[in-house]
Amino acid sequence: MLQAILDGRRALSQYADASVLEGWIYPLFGGRIVSCMPGDEARLATYLSASPRILILGAGFAGTNAARQLDRRLRGTGAHVLLVDRGNASLFTPLLWTVADGRTAPSDVMVPIRDFQGRFSFVHADVEEIDIAGRTVRTSVGSYPYDILVVALGSITTLPPVPGIHEHALGFRYPVDAIRLRNRLIQAVEVARHTADAAARSALLSFAVVGGGDTGVELAATIHDYLHAALFDRYPELKGEQVRIIVLERAERLTPMERPDLSSHAQQMLERSGIEVHTGTTVEGITADGVQTSAGDFPARTVFWAAGISAPPVVRALPVEHAPNGAVIVDTTLRVPGHPEIIVVGDSAWIYDAEGKPVPPTAQAARVEGIYVAKSIANSLRGGPARPFTYRSLGHLALLGLHTGLGEVGPIEVRGFPAWLLWHAYYLYRIPTWGNRVRIVADLILAAIFGREAAQVPLNE
Ligand SMILES: Cc1cc2nc3c(=O)[nH]c(=O)nc-3n(C[C@H](O)[C@H](O)[C@H](O)COP(=O)(O)OP(=O)(O)OC[C@H]3O[C@@H](n4cnc5c(N)ncnc54)[C@H](O)[C@@H]3O)c2cc1C
């Protein structure tokens, strides 16, 4: 069988059943298999003549899990799946912090879709418009008809109309942001090193993070971690220098954890490592020198915006009911009311589950929703009833700096090094291919032995 894989002579599906292919073969051998599977044109022809044609928009957590599960569950039916995304890889956001803190490379956390593509078709294109009446989706490379549409286009960071936000604040969402964060910190340290004036040096080494949710908290901890674990060893003259990392949050408490007591533990852990947390503080403006807030001005040469998400423009443009952030309001089977052929999942959807609980916009929830959708579609194709969606969170984990973290797993609180270890173990387990998993582990080990990445990567900005 291995010979057949390497030669690319025969389709693997002759040798193994779908669960073996999905569970082991694709994740292990990835791209090598693609060469012996049917080409894009043949797959697309299969899609166009299939019944029903299931079109999935977005290859993130929700979309890829839906596509992979449908591949497994649609065998023997006349259905076929087409997945569309503007990238050729799925970004594994939880591990993006390891890129920002200099331990791994951007490609480690990007999983090429071709590496886990089973039988479904894939088109690399920008989704431009969804025509509900014509049951067609227009993309940058052509239009595709559908019988069932799964919208899984994620979200974008919301930038509210705060003066100076576009000019001075940086976002954090993509691998390029992780590299930009490293570049900015390296730049700050390089310039501070030859700045004689103490006040100017202190301004250079002041960083503000707006938003005290998951992203804001992990961002502040990553800045602290990267400065202390990667840069100050290389710039020993700056070691005793006062570094200010400030978290600004409008709510009265940090919000990465559901339980208020865990939020205050997160705040204590950040403060213990020297990070300032200002809750109940509204940002009113951002300048080149700092942040103006309801609680006064905070100096900072580098400001990150990590507060609020909203639906992408294509989703907002759908003529259906939306939540205030543009996400589509769906029913308990994740379908759009009045349009049972359209399912919306992940961050693009505003969901209350069968028990009336709001479902958070997280990777964990998006993955479960993707799997639910596949089961639900397969079930309805076999004439079964639509079961409502229920969601049980497995828990919550946050990385809070060098060898420390915080988590809630069911009713149990995990703190410090065990939480840090659990965070790494869980997300390594969840990344879908062995190629990415092995690369990340190798890079983590190399960073521990030889030190973290500390080269400025030119982004031509
Ligand atoms: C830095 C960071 C860290 C995070 N850490 C965690 C964590 O630790 N745990 C957790 O549970 N959640 C985490 N999240 C949240 C998590 O990433 C999202 O909730 C999750 O990605 C949502 O999944 P999704 O499938 O809805 O969207 P996504 O995973 O964002 O996928 C959307 C896909 O749609 C594609 N797309 C969008 N618009 C178009 C278009 N017009 N045309 C074509 N393709 C398009 C995108 O390329 C993307 O592949 C984190 C988020 C960030 C930003």
- Same domain membership, residue 203 and residue 97: no
Q: Label residue 35 by pLDDT band (50, 70, 90).
A: very low
- Residue 148: closest CA among 391, 373, 383, 384: 373
Pairing of strands 53-57, 148-151: parallel
* Number of compact structural domains in the chain: 2
Q: Is a pLDDT exceeding 60 seen at residue 397?
A: yes
Q: Which residue has the tokens 């579609």?
A: 377
Expressed in angstroms and rounded, the spacing between residue 353 Cα and the centre of ligand 1 is: 20
Atom of ligand 1 nearest to the CA of 366: 23
Q: How high is the pLDDT of residue 76?
A: 82
- Same domain membership, residue 144 and residue 16: yes
Are 124 and 144 in contact by the 8 Å Cβ rule? The answer is no
Q: What's the mean per-residue pLDDT of the chain?
A: 90
Q: How high is the pLDDT of residue 377?
A: 97
Q: Residue 243 corresponds to which amino acid? A: V
State the first-to-last Cα distance of the chain, in angstroms, to the nearest integer. 48
Are 109 and 436 in contact by the 8 Å Cβ rule? The answer is yes
User: Domain for residue 90, yes or no?
Assistant: yes
Assess whether the C-beta atom of 109 lies below 6 angstroms from ligand 1: no
- Of residues 8 and 314, the one with the higher pLDDT is 314
Q: Which residue has the tokens 């599906």?
A: 13
The residue out of 306, 332, 353 marking a domain boundary is 306
Residue environment code for 253-271, b if the CB has 16+ CB neighbours within 10 A, otherwise e: bbbbbeeeebbebbbebbe
Assess whether the C-beta atom of 154 lies below 6 angstroms from ligand 1: yes
Assess whether the C-beta atom of 405 lies below 6 angstroms from ligand 1: no
In the chain, the percentage of residues whose pLDDT exceeds 70 is 91
**Which residues constitute the domain of residue 180?**
165-306
Q: Which two tokens stand for residue 85?
A: 């995304």
DSSP string, 185-220: HHHHHHHHHT---HHHHHHHTEEEEE--SHHHHHHH
- Same domain membership, residue 87 and residue 147: yes
The residue out of 381, 401, 431 marking a domain boundary is 381
User: Domain for residue 18, yes or no?
Assistant: yes
- Same domain membership, residue 322 and residue 274: no
Are 179 and 459 in contact by the 8 Å Cβ rule? The answer is yes
Per-residue pLDDT tens over the stretch 238-291 = 877 889 999 999 999 987 667 788 889 999 999 999 999 999 999 999 999 999
**Mean pLDDT for the stretch of residues 347-371:** 94
Expressed in angstroms and rounded, the spacing between residue 154 Cα and the centre of ligand 1 is: 5
**Mean pLDDT for the stretch of residues 113-139:** 95
Across 301-450, the runs of DSSP E, i.e. the strands, are 302-305, 309-310, 328-329, 335-336, 339-344, 349-350, 396-399, 405-409, 412-416
Helix, strand, or coil here: 332? coil
Q: What is the pTM of this model?
A: 0.90
